[in-house]
Amino acid sequence: MRGVQDVRPAPWTPPRPGGWREGDPPGDRRFLDLEGPLRLERGGTLPAVRVAYETWGTLAPGGGNAVLVEHALTGDSHLAGPAGPGHPTPGWWDGLVGPGEALDTDRLFVVCANVLGGCQGTTGPSSAAPDGAPWGSRFPEVTVADQVAVEAALADALGVERWAAVLGGSMGGMRALEWAVARPDRVEGLLFLASGAAATADQIGTQTTQQAAIRADPAWAGGDYLPGPGPVAGLGIARRIAHLTYRSALELDERFGAAVQDDGRYAVASYLDHHADKLAARFDPGSYVLLTGSMNDWDVGRGRDGVAAALSRVTARTVVAAVDSDRLYPPALQQEVADALGVPLRVVRSPYGHDGFLIEVEAVGALVRELLGA
């Protein structure tokens, strides 16, 4: 028997898997409820869908000044603006949006929506199913095409017949390209950034390993985890794996090397721990598994006679751009798209790897201005 009680404080964990829930402060979100049923590409059905979105600027008569910005895997509708109630982080491309900025809100109407299957207000695995319980493992598989179909319904509701531009990087680039291929008459301009036309074995391997980390957490419970911390340990491991692919080896080595902190951790391990904790506090593990599944499934040429035939449908004025140090979506993937569309490849110089598409705001802003002719 232990004679002395262990009184060390337990490590902090968030009180539940992260993500926005009904009853939380809405922040700057607006909501659109789409009456169902929504029939999905893989055969599933959702009886109804709620879409969370945000807007900046004023829609012109006829809707010709509307721009759709697509977020990446763990992004959300909060493209611009400060952190605050309902928004755990500041806008993820904040420096691009505002009067006089690349997305000039004095003349443009900018829209950003949380993706179908997400966890920041749009229907996803953590949302309530018709029986009142979270969808959890019952949530059907969704594809990039399904996500764009929901965004098209949002555009209809907003009165946008044709986007002046659709912009996106990484997972957002997939949806932007799907828009331009599936609905060419509704896309005037396209910015395709740090993404690919189809998932590669390397990307699928990395993302299935992240999914395995979440599913191996005992709290995962087959995707039907109860209220409480949930599988945040597995999500944290998934985030550590992902973050290593988001940054370049050169940057990590220059920042951290083999330095060891006073607490005995390698500095780079502490950095990854920090990002794991941040994500667990704001993102739902079920959405992470579902959305990485959508990314693994991505192939713009499926059902369209291949990638080249699919890209031949694009009529939008297009800017294709790569980050030179990106090891997750290397520039060769963007070069393939640029060559098929007959446009030059723009290259963003950055030491930050894949995350350069988020960090190098000035360079991305120049690409946006080029696309919009501003």
Which residues are part of the catalytic machinery? 170, 326, 354
44 contacts 103 by C-beta, under 8 angstroms: no
Give Cβ neighbours of residue 154 (< 8 Å, ≥ 6 apart).
Answer: 32, 51, 53, 111, 113
The amino acid at 96: L
Give Cβ neighbours of residue 262 (< 8 Å, ≥ 6 apart).
Answer: none
The amino acid at 145: A
Tell me how far the alpha carbon of residue 250 is from its chain's centroid. 25
Residue of 147, 136, 86, 153 lying closest to 114 (CA atoms)? 147
Residue with tokens 């189809």: 198
Tell me how far the alpha carbon of residue 242 is from its chain's centroid. 13
The amino acid at 120: Q
Residues linked to residue 165 through DSSP beta bridges, in sequence order: 67
The CA distance from 372 to 374, in Å, is: 5
Whole-angstrom CA distances from 289 to 116, 191, 209, 214, 235 are 13, 27, 10, 8, 9
